[in-house]
Structure 1
Amino acid sequence: MVVLGRIIGPHGIRGQIKVTPFTEYINGLTEYSVWWLSKDEKNWQIVHPATFSIHDNLLIVTLAEYSDRTSVSELKGLLVAVPRSQLPLLSEDGKDGYYWTDLIGISVVNVQGETLGTVAGLFETGANDVLRVRLSRSGKEELIPFVDQVIRQVDLRSRQITVDWELGY
């Protein structure tokens, strides 16, 4: 399974949920007619998204299996995934790009060899993508632009991104 989002809670009274997508585009999850939900990435529950809308950079979704706020409240915090086999194939060397989900949790090191932290997430600004890096020392987040001038290497095999970046830029 490839985790593509997280349910952050109910929306309204008719059983809709708010989902933070981990996809490049906010509507990326709308392409899948079946989602797998899990708290621990071991036990999966299949659901069927019925309707989608976008509100404040969140995906608002109605699931066919749920019809009221009380029942969807139990879904808060669950991960949303699809089987990797449903995603288009990318080359292993990253020349075709990367799935954001593959970057989350990998180490970020600068060109001086200092470990900055790990990728907590990514988001799109319109001009470029941005890495959210959870700093090893403080636990705070640093935002690093995902642009060629800054990102020197993405090595998915060793789970490391090398950046031309110093803390506090």
Structure 2
Amino acid sequence: MNRREVISHMIWMGAGIAFLPSCVYKQDQVSIQLKKIQINPKQEKFLTALAAAIIPATDTPGATELGAHLFALKMVDDCMTKESQDAFMAGLKSLQAEEPDPAKLMTAAEAADNKEQLAFLKDYRRLVVQGYTMSEYVMTNLLPYQLVPGKYYGCVPVKSLPAKS
């Protein structure tokens, strides 16, 4: 083996070693990068199920299929103040500890009258609905844009004007 072959093999091995970590798939990763708040995969799964309970899939896609839960997380991360983010995370942790089933969560939290949980649910529900209604699917298929709704008739004679009082 000559020196050029050894150097070539070393370069290929180095490239393979550098590329290897990107090939490893980890099951327990969150699907969105957030800067200010930190969620774990269990919390993301809980929020996904909660979004599905807010807007379930019927003959149209539900909130989770359109990514409304990820929109909500991104809005909390980017647009809320630090105090609001802390309250959101505290409400999430409190709800997740009490009621692991998101389908029962909506009625259980409203019946419990916990202000922290109710504030979290109100914010999250608002953001999920906003993300759903602003999604590409809803805007193109369910609410198609019309430049001018209805018809405009410009050449209609005015028969009589109402009398001034």
Same-fold call, TM > 0.5?
Answer: no
TM-score (normalizing by structure 2): 0.25
More strand by share: 1
- Which one has a larger percent helix, Structure 1 or Structure 2? 2
For CA contacts below 8 A with separation 6 or more, give which structure has more relative contact order: 2
TM-score in terms of structure 1 length: 0.25
Q: Which is greater in Rg?
A: 2
